[in-house]
Structure 1
């Protein structure tokens, strides 16, 4: 058990790439938050609905590390993407949308430097990534309240890890960093900007007097200042330089890659001394472009990780993604609808993003299959199994799979416009009917995609077997009705 927990922890140390896009920076006016959960290439995840609940005074939420907090009297319903129990390291809900129309993704792991660790060390029994969504989502009605609630917990109970969390509702998104055992800071995401976040703190200067757009623990500046640890950049204090580790090459690649992807005209250099957190994109950002970001392997650049000479470089689109999610919060959605989560099980490169609303009451049975070993009944293993074959040869096997799913996604995105209209109309008249429709639509979409994935897997397996090591004249192309 000790070894399993140790291995799990070490995997999380290098996990995840986050993304957030303000509503004026997106093509359709939605707010987007998302993340790749890069925890492992064979790591079964589920997708479930946690029903609303009522608790008696004194009932507690408990995590494996000893963290405890009293449950709220009334806990809101929410969706989540938990680990299967067999991973034996806690819930790891990953992301979700609650019945109040608030979404969050937690977390992008980040690491404080040794000097900060000495003056405000992480708390072994403090709040972990494994528990954050399960503790916070049942309690909050707005994105800003999410920051406030999480911040208060960190100050009172301490944090076991450095973490970056994204919150969003219909009106705004918030970016939050847990920077040490008890210090944290958050800023409202500018409506006209985006951020791509590797496993590194990226907040720079914040105006603590701007209470509309900034929140932070009361000693966020005083603590490092009185210990002689406050670091400046361009004449102002800089939180990431003060609290964080020196940015690693893998984090640098992803920060550069995300900014190159959306803002190529700005010619961001890989060796940029300090990356800005928020950037302006060259063009409006669409949800399918965010999907492509989460698959991005720096194709067409000198850092293209598909090239032999770049083997080992850290891509955004890594094979270690257990799931990837993108949440759209749209102004026209009533809170009962929540938001729209696009989720790809397994790694995004050769998987497919499927839409489900936050207002659902259930998910497809394939999303609930337990166990850590391959199981054809599992949605995770269905998509991950196909990806495994595709990645044996990205040109001859993978390109056909990737192209098929891309067209499938574009059709889903187009069809979503009519689905949205029906859901919004239903929600205004009959919330139960709307919930039923959202649930049935999500399950039907998953059923269709799982069936197609199984058919493509069968065709590709046969294609590989037939060639038996011989030269391939024509790459694999799925033929699925």
Structure 2
């Protein structure tokens, strides 16, 4: 057993219920943040029928478990190397279930002293791999992973996002064996940033809350609840310290400020609610903005006009350590085979493009399966990172050009999604196999188009950057 020290390499998540969104979509989304140069790949893992049960052994910490013989097809964004673990992170399975894992969180010393984290328990790197291929609904996903935690233990405190065509769930693993999960109300949203976020638990409401076996007795017997008349998971299991107020709560504050500007709250408040109802219907573009945000319009924007101390006081949502960002969108009004879209942005969210890949694809572009620790021009991850590095070098000059390109591409990709949806619903002669091929072809074309625009802007910025050399000299024409 081991207690993992608090680290500040982490993520930001957004969840949106179907009645809270502008088009009836359910959305679960997250920035995956770890290192400034650590490529992600995008893959499709095929449906497999094994003759025997398979044994999974984590290359990270030795966590192991038997897996079912039937493994459903699923998409994922694994690391370029599995030396430190797989970290498959996010995707859809063939049953229409979306999963994103994980939002790193931290439990307090009081609860960890009673139920410590397990060094060989399940951690972030294994969660998608051992869960997503085997679940048929979001609710089943929570129960399936919860059982693993109770039987095998957890090596980390984490938040996990699940969704299907009916509902979205947010699950939090706090200690070695205890967890809770809350269904996101259809008319609400949540923004989460590296804290245990779930608050009041209604143990009588089985439709909207799930939890580990014996959690009430665990808290009662060990006298862990600071309240006498409620069960607030965040207050019992979570942390409330200065690092939270600098690193975590400001991101939740900004997401809520964007969707509820009429509500006055402080960025360092420890009382920000987990669930909110926005003052308008939420679009996918709103979620994109939040994931790519860095306190725009406030004195805390690191590339804004505020005082130096304030510009770097809080950790922004989008930052250089983002490896990829995803929005897993499910449109309940559409047929299952075209309902899910995995919007994927490689590299730094604020400087990237969300490309739509339909959930039923059977392959991804070659450039999305390439890229190692050192830059290579054939990798989608590195193509997006290169553009961001160029923009960083002359942000005032190049930033507006990036924004103009992002707007142009967003419009075109939205148009393409509408066109693909229409074609798939109108062509009744497409066989299931032909549909998958068509969806894969069109999704990959979306990626090729976005990369082409990235390469065009990259070439333009490289050319223009030649004029910014400190070795340049303006010659007097009369000399």
Report the TM-score range of the alignment, normalised by the length of the smaller protein: over 0.9
Partner of 2:237: 243
Whole-Å Cα distance in 2 between the matches of residues 423 and 156 of structure 1? 44
Q: What's the TM-score once normalised by structure 1's chain length?
A: 0.92
Partner of 2:364: 363
Write out aligned runs for 1:355-434 (5 A): 355-425=356-426, 430-434=431-435
Whole-Å Cα distance in 2 between the matches of residues 262 and 345 of structure 1? 25
Any idea what SS the aligned residue of 2:290 has?
Answer: helix
Whole-Å Cα distance in 1 between the matches of residues 289 and 267 of structure 2? 20
Partner of 1:275: 272
Q: What's the TM-score once normalised by structure 2's chain length?
A: 0.92
CA-CA distance at 1:11 after TM superposition: 10
Partner of 1:22: 17
CA-CA distance at 1:428 after TM superposition: 8.8
Partner of 1:6: none
Distance 1:433 1:215, change over 3 A: same
Whole-Å Cα distance in 2 between the matches of residues 56 and 259 of structure 1? 49
Write out aligned runs for 1:449-464 (5 A): 449-464=450-465
Any idea what SS the aligned residue of 1:391 has?
Answer: helix
CA-CA distance at 1:338 after TM superposition: 5.2
Distance 1:366 1:10, change over 3 A: farther
2:73 paired residue among 52, 71, 77 = 77
CA-CA distance at 1:57 after TM superposition: 3.2
Write out aligned runs for 1:269-308 (5 A): 269-307=266-304, 308=308
Partner of 1:178: 173
CA-CA distance at 1:10 after TM superposition: 8.3
Partner of 1:150: 145
Whole-Å Cα distance in 1 between the matches of residues 91 and 335 of structure 2? 17
Whole-Å Cα distance in 2 between the matches of residues 104 and 125 of structure 1? 23
Q: Deviations over 1:297-353 (max 9, x none)?
A: 111113222243312530011121110000110113333335101111001111111
**Segment of structure 1 superposing worse, 162-171 or 306-315:** 306-315
CA-CA distance at 1:370 after TM superposition: 3.8
- The 8 Å contact of residues 351 and 402 in structure 1, kept in 2 or not, is answered as no
Partner of 2:40: 45
Unaligned runs of 5+ in 1: 1-8, 472-481
1:54 paired residue among 40, 49, 61 = 49
- The 8 Å contact of residues 12 and 39 in structure 1, kept in 2 or not, is answered as no
Structure 1 vs Structure 2 CA RMSD: 1.9
Q: Deviations over 1:156-210 (max 9, x none)?
A: 0011100101100111111110111100111111001001100001111111111
1:136 paired residue among 118, 131, 136 = 131
Partner of 1:475: none
1:199 aligns with 2:194: yes
CA-CA distance at 1:417 after TM superposition: 1.6
Partner of 2:30: 35
Whole-Å Cα distance in 1 between the matches of residues 270 and 354 of structure 2? 35
Partner of 2:101: 106
Whole-Å Cα distance in 2 between the matches of residues 343 and 198 of structure 1? 20
- The 8 Å contact of residues 63 and 120 in structure 2, kept in 1 or not, is answered as yes
**Segment of structure 1 superposing worse, 379-388 or 409-418:** 409-418
- The 8 Å contact of residues 337 and 424 in structure 1, kept in 2 or not, is answered as no
Distance 1:10 1:369, change over 3 A: farther
Distance 1:375 1:108, change over 3 A: same
Whole-Å Cα distance in 2 between the matches of residues 422 and 332 of structure 1? 16
Whole-Å Cα distance in 1 between the matches of residues 5 and 442 of structure 2? 38
Unaligned runs of 5+ in 2: 473-479
CA-CA distance at 1:463 after TM superposition: 0.7
Partner of 2:475: none
**Segment of structure 1 superposing worse, 412-421 or 167-176:** 412-421
Any idea what SS the aligned residue of 2:329 has?
Answer: strand
CA-CA distance at 1:470 after TM superposition: 9.6
- The 8 Å contact of residues 338 and 421 in structure 2, kept in 1 or not, is answered as no
CA-CA distance at 1:53 after TM superposition: 1.0
Whole-Å Cα distance in 2 between the matches of residues 194 and 41 of structure 1? 29
CA-CA distance at 1:425 after TM superposition: 4.7
